[in-house]
Amino acid sequence: MDIALIIVEALKFIFPAYCANGTPVLAGGGTKMDFGRNFVDGKRIFGNNKTFRGFFFGWGVGIGVGLIEGMVFGFNNFPVLFALLIPLGALLGDLTGAFIKRRLSIAPGGLLPIVDQIDFVVGAVVFSIPLALTGWEGIGWEVAVTVLLITPPIHLFTNFLAYKMKLKKHPW
């Protein structure tokens, strides 16, 4: 498969996850996903930056983007599951990254290179496995690897833009 085609397929696959991961900052606030509670190690479970409003807003945006992609690109097999699972995996991957950062005593918004850039991608890829097992050809190993390679620079660039627009406190 041509590298340009693989990159296009990777972007089509991961775009709902990008949208789901990037939009909670626009609607965050409200009830914390960990309800302000600590884990058994005495540290917050996720921290103040992870809220139900942000999570469900991000998931809703990701679902909408996934459904539109399904219509535009003709994802004939499982377009609704694609739209539901990919952004959900991204958001749960991001929560996993926050959980890991709290265990390492990294404050919400603090930097943990690599994890910050790919936690949501790993979640999206893992949540695509049921689709792949049922015959969906939207993700293969080439697409998964390409997504992992192209996401860090894209993530850093978009976070820098959000920082410049005063949507984020940190440029990462």
Report the chain's mean pLDDT, rounded to a whole number: 92
How much is the pLDDT for 168? Answer: 83
Confidence at 157, pLDDT banded by 50, 70, 90: very high
Using one digit for the tens of pLDDT, what is the confidence trace for 108-126? 889 999 999 999 999 999 9
Residue extents of the structural domains in the chain: 3-164
How much is the pLDDT for 1? Answer: 64
CA distance 97 to 46: 9
